[in-house]
Chain A
Amino acid sequence: MNDLLKQPASLNHGRLIWSRPKHYAPFIHLPESSRNIYRVIFIAASLPLMAGIVIFGWRALMVTILSVAGCVITESAYYRITQTPAMHGRMHGAVTGLLLALTLPATVPWYVPITAAVFATIIGKALFGGMGHFLWQPALVGRLAVTVIFAPPLFNTNLVAPAKWSVLAQNRVILGDVCKAKQIEIYHQWQGTPPPTDCDAFKLPRPRKILRKLTLSTDQPPESITSVILKMPPAEDLILGTHGGGIGETSAVIIILAGLYLIHRSYIRSYLPGMFMLAAAITAAVAPVRTGDGLSWQWCPITAEGIEIGFIYVAYHLASGELLLAGWLLATEMTSRPITASAQAIFGILCGAAAMLMRLYLDFPIPAYAAVLLGNTFTPLLDAAVRPRALKRTPHEFYEKI
């Protein structure tokens, strides 16, 4: 097959000598290249990073630099050694490193982002043959690897999923050290709360963790959905991102802005994040929660205590945790999502529903990322199963006629 393209410099057909065409139609080209696409995605993904630097301070920047440098250096080194041309995409390495950093907490020690970067590049990318060939989003492969490695069996404390997450206080943003954190007694909302003495940050539970009490069977079930919602931080905290979480996971408005910019550049299609969010919302609205006595399950939490409380419950679920980052910037990664529009919509539904189900019923630190990795696994299947429209209407009749 390939030897059709590898013609000799001249062809000898019908006793005549033809010079080989150097160009084939079309002779013009859209001024766009893969590198440019990754550059724009890098810029879009820098928006959540900026929010992260404001909320989590200079340590967030350090983690990001380590992770991006780790990815780019591993990639270049791998290319030097094996000469795989598809591993030559430094811009893609940088994007992977940046997305990886967005998923990590700012409090991790230096070796965590570097380990994650090496895993992302070698396992996530190089083993599959490099840029354009991998099955799973490499940044998430790296994230999954460090989640497993830096956890209790190997380490005493859970480095990448601490029980309490730190956030800088309002008067310490950008310059504060997020590791100098203390737990404080009275906390209502981020705005206006001064830090405890001698430190820059306070320790908080993730909002997601509060919500999960309703469904995970680890501790005593709360009395009602309303009582859980009253314990949640106010909505501005979730929208602006001043709550516990990974560097780029927390700020809902910035993540959606970055996603909308990519949609505007037509690098992602609105169906995918749209379906992801819709499926997650419907799952959260319908999937059962535990009742106050902890013995039975109650379906449709959206209507259980009045529709207003139900809506707030679903909205909190969508805005807290890593769901937004996964839906807008990680599931939409080009290579690991399906190609055709309808397959992408199905992929979005699959990932969104799986992310919400895992968050509700599995005690696992990164449910949305795991769901995206699960969805990636089905990408080739979806691509093969969803047939183009031209063929559906006039099936197969041309086989006999040619």
Chain B
Amino acid sequence: MSLKLIRPRYGTFSGGIDLPDEKDATLESPITPIEHLSHLYVPLAPVHTTPAKPIVSIGQRVHQGEKIAQSSGDGQVDIFAPVAGRVSKFCQVILPVNTPASLCQNRDEYIIGWRVSPAIELVDLDEFEPFPSTSSTYDWLAADDISLCERIAEGGLITFNQRTVALANYISAARNAGVDTLIANVMENTPYITSDHRILTERGLEVIGGLSIIARAMKVSNVILAVDHRRTDSYRQAIAPSRLHGIRTIALANKYPIGSTAIIIRVLTRRRVRAEGEGLEVGVAVVDAATCLATYRWVVFGEVPAARVVTVSGPAVKNPANLLIPFGAEVGEVFASAGAEPDCVTIHGSVMTGNEIIKCTTPTGESIPAVVSASTNALLAMDQQSASDDVTPTPCIRCGWCSDSCPFRLNVAALNDDFELGRINSAKRRGCMYCIDCGICSYICPARLPLARRIKLLKLAIVEETARR
């Protein structure tokens, strides 16, 4: 039945690889709210610009969903208290940075992969209450696109992908760019991660609702829900109503990195995104399931975005699960509750593109925690030995697998030579900027060269060189 509604395969791209799936641990585990958090560090700059201004004072009690910081424009959003609690102090947290080289303002952040954001610490927390079943407060089917945009802007909604931006800004940029296609990207084809899969399985109707709200706000008629062709049976609940909203569901073959924005646009619309460019430039907007869910919860029920579904998994985790975690929960606490082994490599994001969670301290010795934010789709813990870089790199043997599997067909071995010899212009001519940091080249290299990392650094060098000229 569902197979009839879904087109089996749409297209593919050259390069790419089949990664091990490793999702079994959490594929069937339902979304459960996390319990027993002792404190939250709510980041005041979820979007990488000027932080929002706190409007609470120390010692004040806040209830769930109360506004605690006011955006000062500049693309930032208002911050709400994810859980009821007491403001104990103003502090700092670190958040991952995944901006492309040409847009990054601070080279240290690009190299380290983390940035610092001010935060508000909440203690004496009440139990976290997810998805309170309030009745609908807003009739979105009757609203026009302008009022939907305004409503989205009020709620402090952000996109839940790696490049977090305010959803209202994204929508207005899409409207200005004359976007004609909206893609909900639920491919999620890196190992271990199942958060978007669970969201679409359990809350499919709300995701579809949120997707059509965004589509209506963007004034887009061509809406595509891209799902993994192996999991279509789980999405039955969502797919039938999606037809009512004029959403096409397309099942794509699961070949990494089809979930990356540039590739999914190429596969579904045959348009090519400029190197390091955005889909909006070619008239395509891409959102993910978590964003749609949060949009629906806010627009229809007036529930501010306070938490996100995070897959906590990996070989070094005893109880892998899909947890609903409020923003600002310290990752150490999350790993402890999932039973991670003490001596493991902890990763924020996917194993292919994520960042290792590193320690950061102030000069006075106070440690700055990493927290769950909108871009945290997974927190993974790997054993020391299964994390790859331990092996010393040997010379490149020119097997050619890297350039075979690179989705952009870059000659990665030659780029590696350019890195070793410092030939920045030659790397630029070889199209280094097209790299999307998918990590396949490092994954596949039999000489264990850290190619993806080197290319990331090359891109920075190219951008700096171009700016200097």
Q: Do A and B bind each other?
A: yes
B59 part of interface (Cβ distance < 8 Å) = no
Known contacts: A21-B355, A339-B398. The answer to whether A388 contacts B461 by CB under 8 A is no
B424 part of interface (Cβ distance < 8 Å) = yes
B240 part of interface (Cβ distance < 8 Å) = no
Within 8 Å by CB of B276, from A26, A130, A335, A402, lies A402
Determine if B14 and A29 form an interchain contact, defined as CB atoms under 8 angstroms apart: no
- In the bound complex, CA of A269 to CA of B400 (Å): 10
Determine if A132 and B403 form an interchain contact, defined as CB atoms under 8 angstroms apart: no
Q: How many A-B residue pairs have CB under 8 A?
A: 220
A218 part of interface (Cβ distance < 8 Å) = no
Determine if B439 and A25 form an interchain contact, defined as CB atoms under 8 angstroms apart: yes
Q: Which secondary structure dominates chain A's binding surface?
A: loop
Q: How far, in Å, is A271 (CB) from chain B's closest CB?
A: 11
Known contacts: A19-B358, A25-B352, A398-B276. The answer to whether A13 contacts B108 by CB under 8 A is yes
Determine if B443 and A28 form an interchain contact, defined as CB atoms under 8 angstroms apart: yes
List chain A residues, Cβ under 8 A from B433: 398, 402
Interface hit among B69-77, B224-232, B380-388: B380-388
With CB as the reference atom, state the residue of chain A lying closest to B418. Answer: A1
List chain A residues, Cβ under 8 A from B450: 5, 24
- Using an 8 Å CB-CB cutoff, how does the interface string of B416-443 with A read, 1 for contact, 0 for none? 0001111010001011011001011011
List chain A residues, Cβ under 8 A from B191: 28
Determine if B356 and A21 form an interchain contact, defined as CB atoms under 8 angstroms apart: yes
Known contacts: A1-B424, A4-B457. The answer to whether A390 contacts B431 by CB under 8 A is yes
Determine if A11 and B108 form an interchain contact, defined as CB atoms under 8 angstroms apart: yes
List chain A residues, Cβ under 8 A from B79: none
List chain A residues, Cβ under 8 A from B382: 27-28
Determine if A1 and B428 form an interchain contact, defined as CB atoms under 8 angstroms apart: no
Determine if B452 and A26 form an interchain contact, defined as CB atoms under 8 angstroms apart: yes
A264 part of interface (Cβ distance < 8 Å) = no
Determine if B397 and A14 form an interchain contact, defined as CB atoms under 8 angstroms apart: no
Determine if B408 and A388 form an interchain contact, defined as CB atoms under 8 angstroms apart: yes
List chain A residues, Cβ under 8 A from B428: 399
- In the bound complex, CA of A89 to CA of B394 (Å): 9
A227 part of interface (Cβ distance < 8 Å) = no
Interface hit among B49-57, B109-117, B130-138: B109-117
Chain A count of residues within 8 A CB distance of the other chain: 62
Known contacts: A34-B446, A341-B404. The answer to whether A28 contacts B351 by CB under 8 A is yes
Determine if A21 and B112 form an interchain contact, defined as CB atoms under 8 angstroms apart: yes
Determine if A30 and B443 form an interchain contact, defined as CB atoms under 8 angstroms apart: yes
Determine if B410 and A388 form an interchain contact, defined as CB atoms under 8 angstroms apart: yes
- Using an 8 Å CB-CB cutoff, how does the interface string of A267-283 with B read, 1 for contact, 0 for none? 10100000000000000
CB proximity to A under 8 Å, residues B362-385: 362-363, 368, 380, 382
Within 8 Å by CB of B352, from A26, A394, A402, lies A26
Within 8 Å by CB of A14, from B116, B355, B463, lies B116
- In the bound complex, CA of A28 to CA of B20 (Å): 10
- Using an 8 Å CB-CB cutoff, how does the interface string of B80-124 with A read, 1 for contact, 0 for none? 000000000000000000000010000011011110100000000
CB proximity to A under 8 Å, residues B136-163: none
B453 part of interface (Cβ distance < 8 Å) = yes
Determine if B395 and A394 form an interchain contact, defined as CB atoms under 8 angstroms apart: no
Within 8 Å by CB of B114, from A18, A340, A391, lies A18
- In the bound complex, CA of A133 to CA of B397 (Å): 8
List chain A residues, Cβ under 8 A from B354: 25, 27
A220 part of interface (Cβ distance < 8 Å) = no
Known contacts: A340-B400, A341-B404. The answer to whether A23 contacts B388 by CB under 8 A is yes
Determine if A36 and B446 form an interchain contact, defined as CB atoms under 8 angstroms apart: yes
- In the bound complex, CA of A384 to CA of B415 (Å): 11
- In the bound complex, CA of A402 to CA of B358 (Å): 30
A397 part of interface (Cβ distance < 8 Å) = yes
Q: How far, in Å, is B26 (CB) from chain A's closest CB?
A: 17
Q: How far, in Å, is B201 (CB) from chain A's closest CB?
A: 25
Within 8 Å by CB of B388, from A27, A34, A341, lies A27
List chain A residues, Cβ under 8 A from B400: 269, 334, 337-341, 344
Known contacts: A11-B112, A18-B360. The answer to whether A34 contacts B404 by CB under 8 A is no
- Using an 8 Å CB-CB cutoff, how does the interface string of A9-53 with B read, 1 for contact, 0 for none? 001011111111111111111101110110000000000000000
Determine if A388 and B403 form an interchain contact, defined as CB atoms under 8 angstroms apart: yes
Known contacts: A16-B368, A402-B433, A402-B463. The answer to whether A22 contacts B356 by CB under 8 A is yes
B177 part of interface (Cβ distance < 8 Å) = no
- In the bound complex, CA of A384 to CA of B413 (Å): 12
- In the bound complex, CA of A27 to CA of B382 (Å): 8
List chain B residues, Cβ under 8 A from A36: 446
> What are 17 sample pairs from A and B whose C-beta atoms fall under 8 A apart?
A1-B424, A2-B419, A16-B362, A17-B361, A18-B358, A21-B113, A24-B453, A26-B443, A27-B382, A27-B388, A28-B443, A29-B391, A85-B395, A131-B397, A133-B395, A388-B411, A393-B272
Given A13-B109, A20-B358, A28-B20, 16 other A-B contacts at CB below 8 A?
Answer: A1-B422, A5-B450, A21-B358, A26-B442, A27-B388, A29-B442, A30-B444, A32-B444, A131-B394, A334-B399, A341-B404, A389-B409, A397-B274, A398-B274, A399-B428, A402-B102
B residues neighboring A (CB under 8 Å)? 14, 19-20, 102, 108-109, 111-114, 116, 191, 272, 274-277, 345, 347, 349-356, 358-363, 368, 380, 382, 386-391, 394-401, 403-404, 408-411, 413-414, 419-422, 424, 428, 430-431, 433-434, 437, 439-440, 442-444, 446-448, 450, 452-454, 457-458, 460-463, 466
